[in-house]
Structure 1
Amino acid sequence: MTVEMSWFSALCDDDYEFLGVPDDELKSSWEHCRNIVLTADRYGFDNVLLPSGYALGIDNTAFAAGMAPLTSMRMLLAVRCGELIVPQLARQIATLDQMMDGRLTINIISSEMPGESLDSGPRYRRSTEVMHCLRELLDGRRVEFHGDFVDLEVEPPRISTVSGRSPLFYFGGLSPAARECAAAGADVFLMWPDTTDAVLEVKADMDARAEAHGRSLRYGWRSHVVVRETEDEARAAASRLLSKLDVEAGEEIRRKSLDSSSAGVANQAALRESADQEGYVERHLWTGVGRARSGAGAAIVGDPDQVLGKIRELTEAGIESFILSGYPHAAECDLFARHVLPHIDHGRLEFDPHPVDVT
């Protein structure tokens, strides 16, 4: 099976040599994050995730526009539903897609807005409405929609994407409301690290939910990776990442995230609790990363064959898109690209997206 292999650009101040220990040379900046993306592009990754934050890092939309003429890979732009009114968001996405010659993909984010307090159900309802109207406009159709969060009667923008269609929507979330939102409107359902058995359980549930909406989903895996020539070296490198971590500093990093109270983050915490004393929940799945960051909190750790074997195991479980990262991001990108990437049959994820079901 051909899978999509993507890397991560640390736009939200998430780059370290030692987790939880700030390093001025690794802080989010145009130059630093540009170099991460150019490294991934040079090695032939298919896509790169550009995360979105408010309190941390630099703006990902402006960054994507600046990177457009410098790269040949796709970019997965994180979009926080509610930050822009939908017609303006559609025009912005279409413009970026033209600048990238059709290489834009979208990561739909449902976190609270800065200064906002909104329960899970309404937040995901807002995301479903945004995805529906956004896709309609980007597909060139007039929108007449009167929902709880989006109230529009508007023609599509004159400017369109290169294909004349909406880019693919990637989406992640584990709460019941998040799962229903993804089933109704996403194209690629992203999972954070978990055991393979748990991945299969979530996939079965999501397949059933999507079918109930007359839709189908593809599946992605977002995690970190630590690959070295031997397993002992990889485990030592993972341990080194935590060797200077202050427990309170790690907790403060997690609290700063706008998704710190989500079901997905709670699941990552539970995964850490079930791990052994060294943080391994499976032989090659290490949960230590989650001690110093919110979001995806585990890493595939091992020698090249072991990391490749874990990726193939997940592929057999139905994962078709991998979004990986490591610390420091440019250095780990180099290691993964030299040791593992050449042995993976990979390419851009292509398929016709389904309409969003808002019924």
Structure 2
Amino acid sequence: MSISDIAIRSEDPKIEVAWFCDLCNGDYEFLGVPDGELRSSFEHCSDIIRLADQLGYQNILLPSSYQVGQDTLTFAAAASQFTKNISLLTAIRCGEIHPPMLARTISTLDHMLKGRLNINIISSDLPGNVRDSKERYRISKEVIQILQQCWNGEKIDHKGEFYNFDLSTEPSKSYQVNGGPLLYFGGISEDARQLCAEFCDVFLMWPETEEKLSETMADLSRRASNVGRTIDFGLRIHVIVRDTEQEAKDVAKRLISRLDLKVAEELKHRALDSKSAGVLRQDELRKQADSDLFIEPFIWSGIGLARSGCGSAIVGTPEQVIEKIHRYIDMGIRAFIFSGYPLMEECKIFAEKVLPFLNTISLPKAQGRIPDRTPVTPLTTGERK
């Protein structure tokens, strides 16, 4: 299935290339073998984001989880002061923060970053709580509706199942215009797909076969069209790129060479989304891999042995990796979130061997969200009341 079969918002084949910042205790040289030098300290996480900014990545994912590491919003606020160009894809777990105060927090961050803020909407359980999946997505829907009222109107006028508000939006106005920060969203359940189609901007997918990715994209595109919308598609995937294919495969094998499978299971279940439909699908996919853990040419599923969520990597030479990325672009994918182990080392290698050969763009800039001049808001030049 080609892009001609799938309606997307960004028809221009330029792509947004993001890296990943380990705020949640997940950076390793050998999977499952903790290294104190790679702990999710403020210093280490700051080094990762500084490097990605300097090397020309357009975006960086700041995840959220109840694990040793950095609080997402707190870290994003700090990073706003030492980054220059990169956007911060900041994970927000719906229901974790009172929605009007969350909108005010996002407004603060958006102004600090002068529009370099994207939002990753997540709907996993809060730590220690278990809710029905359908209920979690209903909560997420209400939170998104409230945020979008804050960015687009004069009042929060919301009467829902979980929240009821009649408030001014003045304290929560975004720096970004034309709809506020872009909402990136992932999830493969029926409720997740419908929520994204109706309210979000970029549907994030985890590694799959090309055939399955195309099926998912066609379904989401159709759902969005049914409510008069188009969305973009993104892929969250690891990458191992070396000068020869054998060297890349050797690096992949080395990564899991010290992995104890009991430890691996414990690591996977630390994540708050470890029982989600998407995670279970990643496990199922790995079981279909060949003896070297490849699910299709150049897509290696070994990382999923010890990681909840994104479990596969593109593995190959620079030419092979670039060719695979272009196949995804031809399918209609416009946003990529890459990572590798260890994060600093692989960030440099990818930036040297692959990034210069990709035609890149910032999605919020391309879609007119980041204004060319300072917008009039209560925190800039708007009338103080």
TM-score, structure 1 as length reference:
0.96
Question: Is the CA contact (8 Å cut-off) linking 1:128 and 1:184 kept in structure 2?
Answer: no
Q: Does 1:345 align with 2:359?
A: yes
Letter in 1 for 2:173: S
Pair 1:214 & 2:223 matched: no
Indicate if the aligned counterparts of 2:103 and 2:172 stay in contact, CA closer than 8 A.
Answer: no
Q: Distance in 2 between matches of 1:12 and 1:143?
A: 33
After superposition, residues 173-184 of structure 1 pair within 5 angstroms as 173-184=187-198
Contact 1:87–1:157 under 8 Å retained in 2: no
Matches within 5 A, 1:89-238: 89-158=102-171, 160-164=173-177, 165-238=179-252
Q: How does 1:18-97 map to 2 (within 5 A)?
A: 18-72=30-84, 73-97=86-110
CA distance in 2, matches of 1:141, 1:129: 18
The 1:175–1:352 alpha-carbon spacing in structure 2 relative to 1, beyond 3 Å, is farther
- Which AA in structure 1 matches 2:263? A
Contact 2:151 2:172 in 1 (8 A): no
CA contact (8 A) 2:100 2:172 kept: no
Mapping 1:179-328, distance limit 5 Å: 179-328=193-342
CA distance in 2: counterparts of 1:338 and 1:105, whole angstroms: 25
Report if aligned partners of 1:6, 1:46 keep a CA contact under 8 Å in 2: yes
The SS at the match of 1:320 is: strand
Moved more, 67-76 or 241-250: 67-76
Contact 1:29 1:58 in 2 (8 A): yes
Q: Distance in 1 between matches of 2:68 and 2:226?
A: 38
CA distance in structure 2 between the aligned counterparts of 1:150 and 1:276, rounded to whole angstroms = 48
Q: Who is 1:357 aligned against?
A: none
Q: What's the CA shift for 1:138?
A: 2.0
Offset of residue 159 of structure 1: 5.1
Out of 5, 10, 13, the residue aligned to residue 25 of structure 2 is 13
CA distance in 2, matches of 1:32, 1:43: 17
Cα offset, 1:296, TM superposition: 0.5
Q: What's the CA shift for 1:352?
A: 6.1
Could you tell me which amino acid in structure 1 is paired with residue 49 of structure 2? V
| Greater mean alpha carbon deviation, residues 242-251 or residues 210-219 | 210-219
Matches of 1:39 and 1:163, distance apart in 2? 25
Matched residue of 1:136: which SS? helix
Give the secondary-structure state (helix, strand or coil) at the position aligned to 2:308: coil
CA contact (8 A) 2:322 2:354 kept: yes
Paired residue type of 1:118: R
> Which AA in structure 1 matches 2:122?
I
Distance (whole Å) between structure 2 residues aligned to residue 9 and residue 272 of structure 1: 25
Q: Where does structure 2 lack aligned partners over 5 or more consecutive residues?
A: 1-12, 370-385
Amino acid at match of 2:269: R
Q: CA RMSD in A?
A: 1.1
Residue pair 1:91, 1:157 contacting (<8 A) in 2 also: no
Query: 2-side partners of 1:13 and 1:278: how far apart?
Result: 27
Residues 106 and 169, structure 1, Cα contact 8 Å, conserved in 2: yes
Which segments of structure 1 move beyond 6 Å, counting only runs of 4 or more? none
- Structure 1: where are the runs of 5+ without partners? 354-359
CA contact (8 A) 1:54 1:114 kept: yes
CA distance in 2, matches of 1:272, 1:352: 39
Alpha-carbon offset, residue 229 of structure 1: 0.8
| Distance in 2, Cα, partners of 1:79 & 1:141 | 23
CA distance in 2, matches of 1:335, 1:257: 28
Distance in 2 of aligned mates of 1:192 and 1:200: 12
Amino acid of the residue matched to residue 159 of structure 2?
A: H
- What SS does the aligned partner of 1:221 have? strand
User: How many residues are matched?
Assistant: 353
Between 320-329 and 134-143, the greater mean CA deviation after superposition: 134-143
Q: Is the Cα–Cα contact under 8 Å of residues 264 and 295 in structure 1 kept in the other structure? A: yes
- 8 Å CA contact 2:202–2:234 kept in 1: the answer is yes
Amino acid at match of 1:52: S
1:62-87 C-alpha deviation (Å, 9 max, x unpaired): 11111102112110000000111111
Offset of 1:157 from its aligned partner? Answer: 3.2
| SS of residue paired to 2:267 | helix
Residue 351 (structure 1) shift: 2.1
Determine if contact 1:3/1:321 at 8 Å carries over to the other structure: yes
